[in-house]
Amino acid sequence: MKILLVYPKYLDTFWSFKGALKFISKKATHPPLGLLTVAAMLPKEWEKKLVDMNVTTLRDKDLEWADFVFVSAMSIQKASAKEVISRCKKMDIKIVAGGPLFTTGYEEFEDVDHFVLNEAEITLPPFLEDLKNGCAQHVYTSQERPDIKKTPLPLWDLIDMKKYAVMSIQYSRGCPYDCEFCNISVLYGRKVRTKSKTQIISELEDLYSQGWRGDLFFVDDNFVGRKRKLKEEILPAIIEWMERKRHPFSFNTEASIDLSDDDELMQCMVKAGFTSVFVGIETVNEESLAECNKIQNKNRDLVACVKKIQKFGLQVVGGFIVGFDSDPPSIFERLSVFIQESGIVTAMVGLLNAPRSTSLYHRLVKEGRLLKDVSGDNTDFSMNFIPKMDYEILIKGYERIISRIYSPEPYYRRVREFLREYKPSQKKAFRFHFSYLGAFFKSIFFLGIIERERVYYWKLFLWSLFKRPQLFHLALTFAIYGFHFRKIFGNYL
């Protein structure tokens, strides 16, 4: 059997970092970890190829080679997924589809032959058994949650690692919280399931043996969902392995704001090699936090929480949302001020949208306010429901936030303030790579000569070179990130 695994193309968005990737000559940020893991679950004797359309072209001869095409996608990849399915249909090639896009809305894709939905550890084996016996069904779904201690190592041999900026690893699935707008609890449940320390070390060792050195992203939606296990088992094992291997990786992940409550956990994460963490802050309005059931963020000094996490040596990447029913007209000014004061350089501010199957989606259906499906990009100035706030006021307020945090002057000022206070672990020494040398000269050419931000670029360049030379590489990284963000929001700056 010949299996072609296809990862559809995603749009150029805030998180794609396409504007920044060209500086380091990379094609995409992360590899398709889900498909690589599914590939490892298929019979060993089957031939397997993987085409990530974000780094290479899907050719007709790739499709002609395959007996089956396996497609996995998120909502941001919907248009590309439909194109892949259409091409397969015209060439009479059988299609197997799974992943978040199809799990929450498979009925929309009529030309798919087989849907393997939810978590593949449960639904893939019966499909493979039925396929073997010539009686494969159209839909395989289950609400059962698998024990991910049995999940195999991804088949890294199927990709060219050099085309990616960051590799990926998964430690846990599920989140203990149940935010109204989030579909994680729907997809993976509220009980946090974890891999063993032996698995994690094996995955690190596998990536190391493949020759990877550099950034590694723990894709967990809430890495700190089980704090005790992290502190007692996982992080100590990672610390020991990293020291033995002389710190080949830098880790980043996602976590809830209650990470700031646990000094020991933050110390362990930094010692293990974690450098940054994405935190869903969402809003500074208490009524909006109550509305969306973001209980972990309520009754907190959020600026102090962010500052504390960064004081420990973890850069905070922040997620923010406007468009809640409870948002007052002052929210745009308050959020802009918060982002500047907190020193969150990478602040993703998006408009509220309601993904399928979420509590918010069901509420809006009942209220008759739902308009369409989500685009998957909540920074594209679109909403899929009728907001309580006047739409024109909401959009203009959103535009003001974007302008106030990503125009060159406030952005570079925020970078400088962050670097002034940031004290990374001494063990996280900058690891030189030839692509960084290219990024250095490209930044001088584009940001220091061509782009309108050149005055701010050179001020940061010289300040960091003489005042914080150990963070000079990070200053240039942020300058390049800013270039990407201004390309995304160019019409509103």
pLDDT tens, 9-25? Answer: 999 999 999 999 999 99
Which of the pair, 270 or 431, is modelled with greater confidence?
270
Q: Is the pLDDT of residue 458 over 80?
A: yes
Confidence at residue 408, expressed as pLDDT on a 0 to 100 scale: 96
Confidence at residue 473, expressed as pLDDT on a 0 to 100 scale: 92
Q: Is the pLDDT of residue 332 over 90?
A: yes
Q: Is the pLDDT of residue 428 over 60?
A: no
Q: Is the pLDDT of residue 63 over 60?
A: yes
Mean pLDDT of the chain: 95
Q: What CATH number matches the domain at 166-406, 3.40.720.10, 2.60.40.790, 1.20.1440.130, 3.20.20.70?
A: 3.20.20.70
Domain 2-140 and domain 166-406, same fold? Reply is: no
Confidence at residue 429, expressed as pLDDT on a 0 to 100 scale: 47
Q: Is the pLDDT of residue 436 over 90?
A: no
pLDDT tens, 37-58? Answer: 999 999 999 999 999 999 999 9
Confidence at residue 246, expressed as pLDDT on a 0 to 100 scale: 95
CATH architecture of 2-140: 3-Layer(aba) Sandwich (3.40)
Task: Assign 433 a pLDDT band (cuts: 50, 70, 90).
Answer: low
pLDDT tens, 480-492? Answer: 999 999 999 987 8
pLDDT tens, 95-144? Answer: 999 999 999 999 999 999 999 999 999 999 999 999 999 999 999 999 99
Tokens of 113: 């032959």
Domain ranges of the chain: 2-140, 166-406, 434-488
pLDDT tens, 193-203? Answer: 999 999 999 99
Task: Assign 71 a pLDDT band (cuts: 50, 70, 90).
Answer: very high
Mean pLDDT of the region 89-94: 97
Confidence at residue 456, expressed as pLDDT on a 0 to 100 scale: 97
Mean pLDDT of the region 278-300: 97
Confidence at residue 493, expressed as pLDDT on a 0 to 100 scale: 80
Q: Is the pLDDT of residue 297 over 60?
A: yes
Percent of the chain residues topping a pLDDT of 70: 98
- Which residues on neighbouring strands pair with residue 351, listed in sequence order? 322
